[in-house]
Amino acid sequence: MISIKRKEGESINSFLRRFSKRIYQSGILKEVKKKRFKRRKPNLRARKVSALYKVKKQKEISKAQKMGTI
């Protein structure tokens, strides 16, 4: 946990600059962004459906290549 106290006579801008610099150096910001945009893994059914779709498309492509349409 980072605790930063405002110095006596310090302006808000310099305090915010010092605070953001400390947060950036600690790596907290990087960790939060990583967690915020992390995608969940699809469930088992979704993975199966996706795999079956890929297999079907590959078969269609190979068939079209043999027929000479691609």
pTM of the complete model? 0.46
> Which pLDDT does position 28 carry in this prediction?
86
Task: List the Cα angle 44/50/53 in 5-degree steps.
Answer: 140
Question: Where are the extended beta strands (E) located within 1-70?
Answer: none
Q: What is the CA radius of gyration of the chain?
A: 27
Q: In this structure, are residues 2 and 28 in contact, taking their beta carbons and an 8 Å threshold?
A: yes
* % of the chain surpassing 90 pLDDT: 59
Report whether pLDDT(33) > 90: no
* Phi then psi dihedrals of residue 38, to 5 deg: -70, 130
> Which pLDDT does position 57 carry in this prediction?
97
